Chains A and B, each alone.
Chain A
């Protein structure tokens, strides 16, 4: 069966520090991968998606970037965090246009 992992689970970082969040998927090949962000009490907003290794598309201009160095690995990064980057970050995978399956999430607090 397929599983999706994210780490770290929680993170507290000062403004201006770098960020690296990792997401890995097991049990499937060539998935579509997605990064979403959820502000407190809100729905999710798509940040990036990838349909293959090295292929990244950005949905929202921002202070973040994404990379996909391996088929089942998706990384979210920032060189300098802003206060507005605080939120709950969810990685998801799909094998088409139907269900997307989400990871456990990373709660990021920028201080």
Chain B
């Protein structure tokens, strides 16, 4: 069964510093996808970045980049030049196809890391 592990329940970072949020995963599927989502206090779940297992390069989206180390089964999120608005819960997640339907998949979430940015 697929599993996502986030070992940092909470982190405090000074504004403008870079931050790395850790994520390790476990799967026996050769093809898989990894996500990071941000959940601010309002509760909405915001998609940040996606990495496919066969992607040759690490995914990047603006200030977000994914440090994908396949052999170590890790997919850490790096946020460069952190901002006060980055304070939120961050979830690492993995795509898991469901029920034999080729078009549907569920997302398995880790327990999350609460990131707090200090001014």
List A residues at the B interface (Cβ < 8 Å): 32, 34, 41-46, 49, 51, 57, 59, 88, 90, 92, 94, 96-105, 107
Contact = CB atoms under 8 A, between A and B. Distances in A.
Contacts of B103: 32, 51, 96-97
B47 A59 contact: no
Contacts, number: 68
B11 interface: no
A47 to B, nearest CB: 10
Nearest to A105: B43
Contacts of B111: 42-43
Interface of B: 4, 33, 35, 37, 42-47, 50, 91, 93, 95, 97-99, 101-107, 109-112
A88 B43 contact: yes
A102 B44 CA distance: 7
A28 to B, nearest CB: 13
A45 B93 CA distance: 11
Given A49-B98, A100-B47, A102-B45, A43 B91 contact: yes
